[in-house]
Protein backbone atom coordinates (compact mmCIF):
# COMPACT_ATOMS: atom_id res chain seq x y z
CA UNK A 1 0.00 0.00 0.00
CA UNK A 2 1.45 3.34 -1.03
CA UNK A 3 1.35 6.55 0.98
CA UNK A 4 -1.87 8.41 0.12
CA UNK A 5 0.20 11.61 -0.06
CA UNK A 6 1.84 10.23 -3.22
CA UNK A 7 -1.59 9.70 -4.76
CA UNK A 8 -2.79 13.17 -3.75
CA UNK A 9 0.29 14.98 -5.03
CA UNK A 10 0.95 12.96 -8.18
CA UNK A 11 -2.10 10.95 -9.26
CA UNK A 12 -0.90 10.81 -12.88
CA UNK A 13 2.32 9.09 -11.79
CA UNK A 14 0.25 6.51 -9.85
CA UNK A 15 -1.94 5.95 -12.92
CA UNK A 16 1.11 5.53 -15.15
CA UNK A 17 2.47 2.93 -12.74
CA UNK A 18 -0.86 1.07 -12.94
CA UNK A 19 -0.74 1.16 -16.76
CA UNK A 20 2.80 -0.23 -16.77
CA UNK A 21 1.49 -3.18 -14.77
CA UNK A 22 -1.29 -3.71 -17.35
CA UNK A 23 -3.98 -3.23 -14.72
CA UNK A 24 -6.03 -0.53 -16.43
CA UNK A 25 -9.16 -1.70 -14.62
CA UNK A 26 -7.66 -0.15 -11.47
CA UNK A 27 -7.27 3.34 -12.94
CA UNK A 28 -10.76 4.28 -11.76
CA UNK A 29 -9.65 3.62 -8.18
CA UNK A 30 -7.33 6.65 -8.25
CA UNK A 31 -10.15 9.08 -9.01
CA UNK A 32 -12.46 7.37 -6.54
CA UNK A 33 -9.85 7.66 -3.79
CA UNK A 34 -9.22 11.34 -4.54
CA UNK A 35 -12.95 12.08 -4.36
CA UNK A 36 -13.42 10.14 -1.11
CA UNK A 37 -10.26 11.66 0.36
CA UNK A 38 -11.48 15.20 -0.43
CA UNK A 39 -14.81 14.51 1.27
CA UNK A 40 -13.03 12.90 4.22
CA UNK A 41 -10.72 15.85 4.79
CA UNK A 42 -13.59 18.33 4.48
CA UNK A 43 -15.53 16.28 7.00
CA UNK A 44 -12.54 16.24 9.35
CA UNK A 45 -12.42 20.03 9.26
CA UNK A 46 -16.15 20.21 9.85
CA UNK A 47 -15.84 17.90 12.85
CA UNK A 48 -12.98 19.99 14.22
CA UNK A 49 -15.12 23.13 13.89
CA UNK A 50 -18.02 21.44 15.70
CA UNK A 51 -15.74 20.38 18.54
CA UNK A 52 -14.36 23.91 18.89
CA UNK A 53 -17.89 25.30 18.91
CA UNK A 54 -18.92 22.75 21.53
CA UNK A 55 -15.95 23.64 23.73
CA UNK A 56 -16.78 27.34 23.47
CA UNK A 57 -20.43 26.78 24.41
CA UNK A 58 -19.42 24.46 27.26
CA UNK A 59 -17.35 27.28 28.77
CA UNK A 60 -20.33 29.62 28.43
CA UNK A 61 -22.53 27.07 30.20
CA UNK A 62 -20.03 26.94 33.04
CA UNK A 63 -20.15 30.71 33.37
CA UNK A 64 -23.97 30.80 33.29
CA UNK A 65 -24.20 28.11 35.96
CA UNK A 66 -21.77 30.05 38.14
CA UNK A 67 -24.05 33.09 37.79
CA UNK A 68 -27.11 31.06 38.65
CA UNK A 69 -28.63 31.49 35.20
CA UNK A 70 -29.87 27.92 34.94
CA UNK A 71 -32.55 28.54 32.27
CA UNK A 72 -30.05 30.11 29.90
CA UNK A 73 -27.59 27.34 30.68
CA UNK A 74 -30.22 24.72 29.78
CA UNK A 75 -30.79 26.41 26.42
CA UNK A 76 -27.08 26.28 25.73
CA UNK A 77 -27.03 22.59 26.70
CA UNK A 78 -29.59 21.95 23.96
CA UNK A 79 -27.19 23.54 21.48
CA UNK A 80 -24.45 21.24 22.75
CA UNK A 81 -26.71 18.23 22.27
CA UNK A 82 -27.46 19.29 18.70
CA UNK A 83 -23.73 19.61 18.06
CA UNK A 84 -23.13 16.17 19.60
CA UNK A 85 -25.77 14.64 17.34
CA UNK A 86 -24.26 16.30 14.27
CA UNK A 87 -20.77 15.27 15.38
CA UNK A 88 -21.81 11.64 15.85
CA UNK A 89 -23.32 11.53 12.36
CA UNK A 90 -20.27 13.17 10.82
CA UNK A 91 -17.84 10.93 12.71
CA UNK A 92 -19.77 7.87 11.51
CA UNK A 93 -19.52 9.05 7.92
CA UNK A 94 -15.85 9.91 8.47
CA UNK A 95 -15.13 6.36 9.65
CA UNK A 96 -17.00 4.91 6.66
CA UNK A 97 -14.97 7.08 4.29
CA UNK A 98 -11.68 5.95 5.87
CA UNK A 99 -12.64 2.30 5.39
CA UNK A 100 -13.66 2.90 1.77
CA UNK A 101 -10.40 4.72 1.10
CA UNK A 102 -8.34 1.98 2.75
CA UNK A 103 -10.15 -0.74 0.81
CA UNK A 104 -9.26 0.96 -2.47
CA UNK A 105 -5.73 1.91 -1.41
CA UNK A 106 -5.02 -1.76 -0.66
CA UNK A 107 -5.68 -2.51 -4.34
CA UNK A 108 -3.37 0.17 -5.73
CA UNK A 109 -0.05 -1.47 -6.75
CA UNK A 110 3.18 -0.31 -5.17
CA UNK A 111 5.34 2.11 -7.16
CA UNK A 112 7.86 0.00 -9.06
CA UNK A 113 11.55 0.75 -9.21
CA UNK A 114 12.56 2.57 -12.39
CA UNK A 115 14.78 -0.37 -13.37
CA UNK A 116 11.88 -2.85 -13.66
CA UNK A 117 11.44 -3.92 -17.31
CA UNK A 118 8.00 -3.30 -18.79
CA UNK A 119 6.14 -6.41 -19.94
CA UNK A 120 2.70 -8.00 -19.83
CA UNK A 121 3.47 -11.29 -18.08
CA UNK A 122 6.21 -13.77 -17.13
CA UNK A 123 6.93 -14.52 -20.79
CA UNK A 124 8.51 -11.07 -20.97
CA UNK A 125 10.79 -11.43 -17.95
CA UNK A 126 14.42 -10.57 -18.71
CA UNK A 127 17.45 -12.78 -18.14
CA UNK A 128 20.10 -11.00 -16.09
CA UNK A 129 23.05 -13.31 -15.60
CA UNK A 130 24.03 -16.99 -15.70
CA UNK A 131 26.16 -18.68 -13.06
CA UNK A 132 27.80 -22.02 -13.87
CA UNK A 133 27.90 -23.83 -17.17
CA UNK A 134 24.65 -25.64 -18.04
CA UNK A 135 25.54 -29.21 -19.02
CA UNK A 136 23.59 -31.61 -21.22
CA UNK A 137 25.10 -35.08 -20.58
CA UNK A 138 25.48 -37.61 -23.41
CA UNK A 139 22.89 -39.84 -21.74
CA UNK A 140 19.20 -39.37 -21.02
CA UNK A 141 18.09 -37.75 -17.74
CA UNK A 142 14.82 -39.37 -16.60
CA UNK A 143 11.85 -37.40 -15.31
CA UNK A 144 12.55 -36.48 -11.68
CA UNK A 145 9.68 -38.59 -10.35
CA UNK A 146 11.23 -41.62 -12.09
CA UNK A 147 14.65 -40.88 -10.60
CA UNK A 148 13.11 -40.68 -7.14
CA UNK A 149 11.05 -43.83 -7.75
CA UNK A 150 14.22 -45.74 -8.75
CA UNK A 151 15.61 -44.79 -5.33
CA UNK A 152 12.42 -45.99 -3.57
CA UNK A 153 11.96 -42.39 -2.49
CA UNK A 154 8.38 -41.47 -3.37
CA UNK A 155 4.85 -42.71 -2.72
CA UNK A 156 2.20 -40.49 -4.32
CA UNK A 157 -0.37 -43.28 -4.52
CA UNK A 158 -0.63 -43.54 -0.74
CA UNK A 159 -0.59 -39.75 -0.42
CA UNK A 160 -3.57 -39.69 -2.77
CA UNK A 161 -5.44 -41.93 -0.37
CA UNK A 162 -4.50 -39.96 2.72
CA UNK A 163 -4.59 -36.41 1.37
CA UNK A 164 -5.51 -36.23 -2.32
CA UNK A 165 -3.78 -34.89 -5.41
CA UNK A 166 -0.88 -32.50 -4.82
CA UNK A 167 0.60 -34.37 -1.85
CA UNK A 168 3.36 -36.98 -1.53
CA UNK A 169 5.36 -39.22 0.78
CA UNK A 170 9.14 -38.83 0.52
CA UNK A 171 10.91 -41.96 1.71
CA UNK A 172 14.33 -43.25 2.68
CA UNK A 173 17.47 -41.66 1.28
CA UNK A 174 15.51 -39.17 -0.82
CA UNK A 175 13.68 -37.88 2.25
CA UNK A 176 17.02 -37.60 3.99
CA UNK A 177 18.53 -35.69 1.04
CA UNK A 178 15.55 -33.33 1.10
CA UNK A 179 16.09 -32.59 4.80
CA UNK A 180 19.87 -32.36 4.33
CA UNK A 181 19.35 -29.51 1.88
CA UNK A 182 17.07 -27.66 4.32
CA UNK A 183 19.54 -28.15 7.20
CA UNK A 184 22.45 -27.00 5.04
CA UNK A 185 20.44 -23.94 3.97
CA UNK A 186 19.84 -23.11 7.62
CA UNK A 187 23.54 -23.25 8.47
CA UNK A 188 24.46 -21.44 5.24
CA UNK A 189 22.34 -18.45 6.25
CA UNK A 190 23.46 -18.49 9.88
CA UNK A 191 27.02 -18.17 8.58
CA UNK A 192 25.85 -15.11 6.61
CA UNK A 193 24.85 -13.46 9.90
CA UNK A 194 21.12 -14.22 9.87
CA UNK A 195 19.24 -15.24 13.00
CA UNK A 196 17.58 -18.65 12.72
CA UNK A 197 13.83 -18.79 13.33
CA UNK A 198 11.06 -21.39 13.36
CA UNK A 199 7.87 -19.29 13.15
CA UNK A 200 4.18 -20.15 13.66
CA UNK A 201 2.75 -22.04 10.70
CA UNK A 202 -0.62 -20.29 10.98
CA UNK A 203 -1.34 -16.56 11.01
CA UNK A 204 -4.38 -14.33 11.53
CA UNK A 205 -6.20 -12.49 8.77
CA UNK A 206 -4.82 -9.07 9.73
CA UNK A 207 -1.28 -10.39 9.18
CA UNK A 208 -2.29 -12.04 5.89
CA UNK A 209 -3.72 -8.73 4.66
CA UNK A 210 -0.53 -7.01 5.76
CA UNK A 211 1.93 -9.19 3.89
CA UNK A 212 0.22 -9.94 0.58
CA UNK A 213 -2.24 -8.65 -2.00
CA UNK A 214 -5.84 -9.82 -2.30
CA UNK A 215 -5.06 -11.59 -5.59
CA UNK A 216 -2.27 -13.62 -3.96
CA UNK A 217 -4.51 -14.43 -0.98
CA UNK A 218 -7.24 -15.94 -3.13
CA UNK A 219 -4.80 -17.98 -5.21
CA UNK A 220 -2.60 -19.21 -2.37
CA UNK A 221 -3.90 -19.33 1.19
CA UNK A 222 -5.75 -22.11 2.98
CA UNK A 223 -8.28 -20.84 5.54
CA UNK A 224 -8.85 -22.77 8.79
CA UNK A 225 -12.61 -23.27 8.96
CA UNK A 226 -14.31 -21.57 11.91
CA UNK A 227 -11.15 -19.72 13.04
CA UNK A 228 -9.36 -16.51 12.14
CA UNK A 229 -6.31 -18.45 10.99
CA UNK A 230 -4.61 -19.25 7.68
CA UNK A 231 -1.89 -21.79 6.88
CA UNK A 232 1.23 -19.91 5.77
CA UNK A 233 2.43 -20.06 2.17
CA UNK A 234 5.96 -19.11 3.27
CA UNK A 235 7.68 -18.32 6.58
CA UNK A 236 8.06 -14.73 5.37
CA UNK A 237 4.42 -14.20 6.34
CA UNK A 238 5.01 -15.05 9.99
CA UNK A 239 8.44 -13.48 10.25
CA UNK A 240 7.31 -10.11 8.89
CA UNK A 241 4.08 -10.37 10.91
CA UNK A 242 6.18 -10.77 14.05
CA UNK A 243 6.89 -7.04 13.92
CA UNK A 244 3.26 -5.95 13.45
CA UNK A 245 2.56 -2.74 15.39
CA UNK A 246 6.13 -2.58 16.69
CA UNK A 247 8.66 0.24 16.82
CA UNK A 248 12.20 -1.12 16.48
CA UNK A 249 15.32 0.77 17.43
CA UNK A 250 17.16 2.25 14.47
CA UNK A 251 20.46 0.85 15.74
CA UNK A 252 18.98 -2.67 15.45
CA UNK A 253 18.63 -2.27 11.67
CA UNK A 254 19.12 -4.19 9.50
CA UNK A 255 17.19 -7.03 11.09
CA UNK A 256 18.18 -10.28 9.32
CA UNK A 257 16.25 -13.49 9.91
CA UNK A 258 16.24 -16.86 8.18
CA UNK A 259 13.21 -19.04 8.82
CA UNK A 260 12.27 -22.66 8.26
CA UNK A 261 8.69 -23.76 7.69
CA UNK A 262 6.45 -26.12 5.84
CA UNK A 263 4.46 -24.16 3.27
CA UNK A 264 0.88 -24.72 2.12
CA UNK A 265 -0.55 -23.40 -1.16
CA UNK A 266 -3.76 -23.93 -3.07
CA UNK A 267 -1.92 -23.52 -6.39
CA UNK A 268 -5.06 -22.15 -8.03
CA UNK A 269 -4.65 -21.24 -11.68
CA UNK A 270 -4.21 -22.46 -15.19
CA UNK A 271 -0.93 -24.27 -14.50
CA UNK A 272 -2.63 -26.90 -12.32
CA UNK A 273 -1.01 -29.59 -10.19
CA UNK A 274 1.41 -32.26 -11.35
CA UNK A 275 -0.07 -35.75 -11.36
CA UNK A 276 3.26 -37.57 -11.08
CA UNK A 277 5.91 -35.04 -10.23
CA UNK A 278 6.79 -32.75 -7.36
CA UNK A 279 7.28 -29.41 -9.08
CA UNK A 280 3.86 -27.95 -8.22
CA UNK A 281 2.32 -29.35 -5.05
CA UNK A 282 0.15 -28.24 -2.15
CA UNK A 283 2.80 -28.75 0.55
CA UNK A 284 6.56 -28.25 0.60
CA UNK A 285 9.35 -27.10 2.92
CA UNK A 286 11.38 -23.97 2.65
CA UNK A 287 14.26 -22.01 4.11
CA UNK A 288 13.51 -18.30 3.70
CA UNK A 289 15.30 -15.06 4.52
CA UNK A 290 13.88 -11.64 5.37
CA UNK A 291 15.47 -8.26 6.02
CA UNK A 292 14.05 -5.14 7.67
CA UNK A 293 16.16 -2.08 6.90
CA UNK A 294 16.16 1.63 6.14
CA UNK A 295 14.61 2.58 2.81
CA UNK A 296 17.91 3.86 1.45
CA UNK A 297 19.56 0.48 2.13
CA UNK A 298 16.96 -1.77 0.51
CA UNK A 299 18.58 -2.07 -2.93
CA UNK A 300 21.94 -3.02 -1.43
CA UNK A 301 20.20 -5.78 0.52
CA UNK A 302 18.15 -6.84 -2.48
CA UNK A 303 21.31 -7.58 -4.47
CA UNK A 304 23.02 -9.27 -1.52
CA UNK A 305 20.05 -11.55 -0.94
CA UNK A 306 19.61 -12.96 -4.44
CA UNK A 307 23.37 -13.52 -4.59
CA UNK A 308 23.11 -15.67 -1.44
CA UNK A 309 20.69 -17.99 -3.27
CA UNK A 310 22.96 -18.16 -6.31
CA UNK A 311 25.92 -19.02 -4.08
CA UNK A 312 23.85 -21.67 -2.28
CA UNK A 313 22.86 -23.50 -5.48
CA UNK A 314 26.32 -23.25 -7.01
CA UNK A 315 27.67 -24.98 -3.88
CA UNK A 316 25.30 -27.84 -4.78
CA UNK A 317 26.77 -28.09 -8.30
CA UNK A 318 23.61 -26.63 -9.84
CA UNK A 319 23.96 -24.01 -12.63
CA UNK A 320 21.53 -21.13 -12.18
CA UNK A 321 20.47 -17.87 -13.74
CA UNK A 322 18.64 -14.79 -12.49
CA UNK A 323 15.55 -13.53 -14.26
CA UNK A 324 14.28 -9.97 -13.76
CA UNK A 325 10.51 -9.93 -13.23
CA UNK A 326 8.79 -7.53 -15.62
CA UNK A 327 6.06 -5.10 -14.58
CA UNK A 328 3.16 -7.38 -15.48
CA UNK A 329 4.65 -10.28 -13.49
CA UNK A 330 5.37 -8.18 -10.40
CA UNK A 331 3.02 -8.76 -7.45
CA UNK A 332 1.25 -5.59 -6.33
CA UNK A 333 3.23 -5.06 -3.13
CA UNK A 334 6.62 -5.47 -4.77
CA UNK A 335 8.98 -2.69 -5.83
CA UNK A 336 11.41 -5.00 -7.63
CA UNK A 337 11.80 -8.76 -7.90
CA UNK A 338 13.93 -11.39 -9.57
CA UNK A 339 13.67 -15.16 -9.82
CA UNK A 340 16.55 -17.56 -9.38
CA UNK A 341 16.20 -20.42 -11.84
CA UNK A 342 18.05 -23.75 -11.83
CA UNK A 343 19.22 -25.57 -14.93
CA UNK A 344 17.28 -28.70 -15.89
CA UNK A 345 19.45 -30.99 -18.04
CA UNK A 346 16.38 -33.12 -18.74
CA UNK A 347 14.26 -30.24 -20.07
CA UNK A 348 17.30 -28.35 -21.43
CA UNK A 349 16.01 -25.15 -19.86
CA UNK A 350 15.89 -23.32 -16.54
CA UNK A 351 13.09 -23.52 -13.97
CA UNK A 352 12.26 -21.37 -10.96
CA UNK A 353 13.67 -22.39 -7.57
CA UNK A 354 13.48 -19.10 -5.70
CA UNK A 355 12.39 -15.47 -5.75
CA UNK A 356 13.90 -12.32 -4.23
CA UNK A 357 11.88 -9.16 -3.68
CA UNK A 358 11.95 -5.77 -2.06
CA UNK A 359 8.56 -4.37 -1.09
CA UNK A 360 9.63 -0.91 0.01
CA UNK A 361 7.47 0.21 2.94
CA UNK A 362 4.26 -1.46 1.63
CA UNK A 363 4.16 -4.28 4.20
CA UNK A 364 5.43 -1.98 6.95
CA UNK A 365 2.65 0.53 6.20
CA UNK A 366 -0.03 -2.17 6.30
CA UNK A 367 1.34 -3.70 9.50
CA UNK A 368 2.55 -0.45 11.12
CA UNK A 369 6.20 -1.48 11.47
CA UNK A 370 8.40 1.49 12.29
CA UNK A 371 11.90 2.32 13.39
CA UNK A 372 12.70 5.00 15.95
CA UNK A 373 15.38 7.41 14.75
CA UNK A 374 16.78 10.74 15.85
CA UNK A 375 14.27 12.63 13.70
CA UNK A 376 11.28 10.55 14.77
CA UNK A 377 9.62 7.30 13.72
CA UNK A 378 9.60 6.08 10.12
CA UNK A 379 8.44 3.03 8.17
CA UNK A 380 11.06 0.38 7.46
CA UNK A 381 11.62 -1.40 4.14
CA UNK A 382 11.04 -5.16 4.02
CA UNK A 383 12.67 -7.73 1.74
CA UNK A 384 12.32 -11.48 1.34
CA UNK A 385 14.12 -14.20 -0.59
CA UNK A 386 14.06 -17.97 -0.93
CA UNK A 387 17.21 -19.78 0.15
CA UNK A 388 15.79 -23.12 -0.99
CA UNK A 389 12.34 -24.62 -1.40
CA UNK A 390 12.15 -28.37 -1.63
CA UNK A 391 11.07 -30.48 -3.57
CA UNK A 392 12.01 -27.95 -6.29
CA UNK A 393 15.55 -27.67 -4.97
CA UNK A 394 15.63 -31.44 -4.64
CA UNK A 395 14.67 -31.81 -8.32
CA UNK A 396 17.53 -29.52 -9.35
CA UNK A 397 20.09 -31.49 -7.31
CA UNK A 398 18.86 -34.88 -8.56
CA UNK A 399 18.88 -33.89 -12.24
CA UNK A 400 22.24 -32.11 -12.19
CA UNK A 401 23.97 -34.89 -10.25
CA UNK A 402 22.38 -37.85 -12.05
CA UNK A 403 24.84 -40.39 -13.45
CA UNK A 404 24.58 -42.66 -16.47
CA UNK A 405 24.28 -45.78 -14.27
CA UNK A 406 21.22 -44.32 -12.51
CA UNK A 407 23.06 -43.24 -9.36
CA UNK A 408 23.00 -39.71 -7.95
CA UNK A 409 26.11 -38.01 -6.60
CA UNK A 410 25.59 -36.16 -3.33
CA UNK A 411 27.12 -32.65 -3.44
CA UNK A 412 30.10 -32.51 -1.09
CA UNK A 413 28.60 -29.79 1.12
CA UNK A 414 25.76 -32.19 1.98
CA UNK A 415 27.93 -35.16 3.01
CA UNK A 416 27.96 -34.20 6.72
CA UNK A 417 24.14 -33.95 6.66
CA UNK A 418 23.84 -37.36 4.99
CA UNK A 419 25.92 -39.27 7.55
CA UNK A 420 28.82 -39.42 5.10
CA UNK A 421 26.75 -40.88 2.25
CA UNK A 422 28.27 -39.66 -1.02
CA UNK A 423 26.08 -41.40 -3.56
CA UNK A 424 22.54 -42.72 -3.91
CA UNK A 425 22.25 -45.92 -5.93
CA UNK A 426 19.07 -47.12 -7.65
CA UNK A 427 17.20 -49.85 -5.81
CA UNK A 428 14.98 -50.94 -8.66
pLDDT band with cut points at 50, 70 and 90 for residue 213 = confident
User: Could you give the C-alpha distances from 407 to 13, 152, 291, 315, 343, in angstroms and in order?
Assistant: 56, 12, 39, 20, 19
- What is the rounded CA–CA span in Å between residue 253 and residue 241? 17
pLDDT surpassing 80 at residue 355: yes
pLDDT value for 218: 75
CATH topology of domain 122-424: BirA Bifunctional Protein; domain 2 (3.30.930)
pLDDT band with cut points at 50, 70 and 90 for residue 271 = low
DSSP 35-80: HHHHHHHHHHHHHHHHHHHHHHHHHHHHHHHHTT-HHHHHHHHHHH
Tell me the three state secondary structure of residue 337.
strand
* Alpha helix (H) residue ranges in 106-163: 144-150, 156-162
Task: For 20-33, give one letter per residue: b (16+ CB within 10 A) or e.
Answer: bbebeebeebbeeb
- Per-residue pLDDT tens for 42-59? 999 999 899 888 889 888
pTM of the model: 0.90
* Alpha helix (H) residue ranges in 106-234: 144-150, 156-162, 172-191, 205-211, 214-220
Q: What angle do CA 7, 12, 13 make, to 5 degrees?
A: 75
- Per-residue pLDDT tens for 174-210? 999 999 999 999 999 999 999 999 999 999 999 999 9
Q: CB 424: neighbour CB atoms within 10 A? A: 26
Tell me the three state secondary structure of residue 314.
helix
What length does the chain have?
428
The structural domains of the chain, with segments of one domain joined by +, span 4-105, 122-424
Report the DSSP beta bridge partners of residue 423. 409
Report the DSSP beta bridge partners of residue 381. 293
For domain 4-105, give the CATH number. Answer: 1.10.287.40
* Of residues 166, 192, 332, 356, the one with CA closest to residue 264: 166
- Per-residue pLDDT tens for 6-51? 999 999 999 999 999 999 999 999 999 999 999 999 999 999 899 8
Amino acid sequence: MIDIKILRENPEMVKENIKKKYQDHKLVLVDEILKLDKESRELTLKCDDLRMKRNTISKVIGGLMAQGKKDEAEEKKKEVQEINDALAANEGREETLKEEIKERMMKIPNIMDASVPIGKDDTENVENEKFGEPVIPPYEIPYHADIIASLNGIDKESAGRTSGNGFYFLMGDVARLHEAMIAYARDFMIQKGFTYCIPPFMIRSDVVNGVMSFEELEAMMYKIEGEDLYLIGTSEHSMIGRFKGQIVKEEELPIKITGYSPCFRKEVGSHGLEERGLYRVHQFEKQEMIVLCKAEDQMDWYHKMWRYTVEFFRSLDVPVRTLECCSGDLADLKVKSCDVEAWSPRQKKYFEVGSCSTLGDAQARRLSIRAKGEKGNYLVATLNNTVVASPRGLIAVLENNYQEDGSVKIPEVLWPYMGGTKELKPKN
